[in-house]
């Protein structure tokens, strides 16, 4: 483990620091953490002024306790742009090059250093393929008369990481990371609950993780039937599970409840309520799915849903759903009837789909603005067709 600690210019006084049911008396949080956490490496982030004031004393105390010789990480004092980037790069380098986990102490951070530490952690976790495990702690000095606790701030890093993953789901439909992190958090909460010995219900977050993953799998592979129909459509199931876990998320990770609300709002229009896809309600769900693909820039998927969904409008029961019970001959006839009744629109849909599927290998491949304009017009035409459905048709 690599211990990273900031060193400022304050007049630090001796106190007894408490960390994970252990205590150590010292002026410096870094010495307490070194004694209690037993790191293999120690890196002290300090300006020249801070090092001149405390570096020698701190190093001597660590050496006297048999701890590793600390390595100084020199950072500038000023706040000019170039100096700030130097500080950023220095902190990132210490985190990035760790071969093991990192314990980051921000207690004595000077000026904006703790803020930079948070930014550096987010950068490393977002960019590196296999970032080191990072814990963040802060020592609350309470004087010499009472013990000074060292607080664990790591859960707030996990919140930020989970938020990033949820936003990835919202923007791309990809959910591997958020499902993994949600399941991991659920296991941790279950372990914590089991350790209390109390008769409490277990965490529902692993169930949420599975619902998120199922929805994402269906969404990324355009499994319309699994998403929208059947005994447990993945869109409806995800909506329901989010509803069931709101209280738990609000209790343990309140900041994430708002992000989950966005995910729930994303899947809400995809709920068919058990209606057939040929009905007005089913068509609205299909239309919402096509628009969701359009929103995140997945035009191939959007045009596929638009074509198949529009063919499904007012289709007979044996031709209005994906899956093994679909009658291929009935579907083929339904497609022919749709083409016959909507010749101009059908040609436009085909032209757009073909242009995408040929991957630009045409004499005059279309640009993005053409796709955006054409898809919007076709979706509006489909919307008009749905709106004009006979009001007596089952919704």
Q: Give the whole-angstrom CA distance, residue 224 versus residue 241.
A: 20
Return the CA Rg of the chain: 29
The tokens for 2 are: 């690599």
Dihedral, 346, 350, 351, 352 alpha carbons, nearest 10? 110
Indicate whether this model's pTM tops 0.85.
Answer: no
Q: Give the whole-angstrom CA distance, residue 233 versus residue 277.
A: 13
What backbone phi and psi angles, to 5 degrees, belong to 377? Answer: -65, -40
CB contact at 8 A, 81 and 55: no
Report the SS3 class of residue 133. coil
What backbone phi and psi angles, to 5 degrees, belong to 137? Answer: -135, 160
* 109: number of Cβ within 10 Å: 19
Which run of H or E residues covers position 260? helix 254-267
Question: How many H helices and E strands in the chain?
Answer: 16, 8
Nearest alpha carbon to residue 62 among 26, 105, 104, 97: 26
Using alpha carbons only, give the angle 10, 13, 18 rounded to the nearest 5 degrees.
110
Report the SS3 class of residue 237. helix
SS3 for 61-114 is HHHHCCCCCCEEEECCCCCCHHHHHHHHHHHHHHHHCCCCCEEEECCCCCCCHH
Structure confidence at residue 178 (pLDDT): 79
Tens place of pLDDT per residue across the chain (395 aa):
999 998 888 888 999 999 988 999 999 999 999 999 999 999 998 889 989 999 999 999 999 999 999 999 888 776 677 888 888 888 888 888 898 999 999 888 766 677 778 888 888 887 888 888 888 898 888 887 789 999 988 877 777 777 778 888 888 888 887 788 778 777 777 776 665 555 556 778 889 989 999 999 999 999 999 999 988 999 999 999 999 998 888 887 777 788 888 899 999 999 999 999 999 999 999 999 999 999 999 999 999 999 999 999 999 999 988 888 889 999 999 999 999 988 998 999 988 888 888 888 888 888 889 889 999 999 999 999 999 885 545 44
Q: Give the whole-angstrom CA distance, residue 346 versus residue 386.
A: 16
CB contact at 8 A, 212 and 184: no
CB contact at 8 A, 6 and 110: yes
Nearest alpha carbon to residue 323 among 276, 280, 291: 276
Q: What's CA 158's distance to the chain center, in Å?
A: 10
Report the SS3 class of residue 342. coil
CATH 3.40.50.2000 at 2-152, yes or no: no
Domain ranges of the chain: 2-152, 154-271, 272-395
User: Terminus-to-terminus CA distance in the chain, angstroms?
Assistant: 61
Give, in order, the Cα–Cα distances in Å from 125 to each of 107, 128, 165, 193: 22, 6, 12, 28
Which run of H or E residues covers position 139? strand 134-139
Q: Give the whole-angstrom CA distance, residue 150 versus residue 167.
A: 32
Nearest alpha carbon to residue 383 among 285, 300, 298, 299: 285
Q: Give the whole-angstrom CA distance, residue 20 versus residue 333.
A: 70
């Amino acid at each position: 483990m690599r211990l990273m600690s900031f060193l400022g210019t304050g007049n630090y006084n001796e106190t007894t620091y408490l960390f994970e049911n252990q205590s150590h008396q010292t002026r410096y949080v870094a010495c307490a953490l070194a004694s209690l956490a037993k790191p293999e490496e120690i890196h002290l982030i300090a300006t020249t002024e801070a090092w001149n004031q405390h570096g020698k004393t701190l190093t001597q105390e660590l050496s006297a306790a048999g701890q590793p010789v600390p390595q100084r990480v020199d950072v500038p004092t000023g706040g000019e742009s170039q100096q700030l980037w130097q500080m950023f790069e220095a902190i990132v380098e210490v985190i990035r090059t760790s071969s093991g986990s990192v314990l980051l102490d921000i207690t004595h951070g000077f000026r904006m250093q703790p803020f930079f530490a948070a930014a550096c952690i987010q950068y490393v976790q977002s960019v590196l393929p296999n970032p080191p495990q990072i814990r963040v702690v802060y020592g609350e000095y309470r004087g010499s008369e009472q013990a000074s606790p060292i607080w664990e701030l790591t859960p707030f890093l996990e919140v930020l990481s989970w938020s990033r993953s949820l936003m990835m789901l919202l923007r791309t439909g990809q959910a591997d990371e958020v499902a993994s992190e949600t399941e991991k958090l659920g296991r941790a909460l279950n372990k914590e609950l089991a350790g209390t010995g109390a008769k409490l219900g277990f965490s529902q977050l692993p169930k949420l993780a599975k619902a998120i993953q199922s929805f994402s799998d269906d969404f990324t592979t355009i499994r319309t039937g699994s998403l929208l129909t059947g005994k447990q459509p993945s869109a409806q199931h995800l909506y329901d599970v989010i509803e069931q876990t709101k209280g738990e998320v609000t209790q343990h990770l309140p900041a994430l409840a708002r992000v989950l609300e966005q995910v729930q709002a994303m899947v809400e229009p995809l709920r068919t309520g058990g209606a057939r896809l040929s009905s007005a309600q089913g068509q609205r769900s299909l239309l919402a799915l096509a628009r969701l693909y359009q929103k995140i820039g997945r035009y191939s998927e959007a045009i596929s849903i638009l074509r198949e969904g529009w063919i499904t409008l007012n289709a007979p029961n044996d031709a209005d759903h994906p899956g093994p019970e679909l009658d291929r001959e009935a579907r083929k006839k339904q497609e022919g009837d749709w083409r016959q009744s909507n010749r101009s629109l059908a040609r436009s849909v085909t032209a757009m789909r073909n242009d995408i599927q040929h991957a630009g290998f045409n004499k005059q491949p279309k640009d993005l603005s053409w796709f955006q304009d054409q898809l919007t017009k076709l979706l509006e035409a489909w919307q008009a067709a749905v709106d004009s459905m006979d009001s007596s048709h089952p919704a």
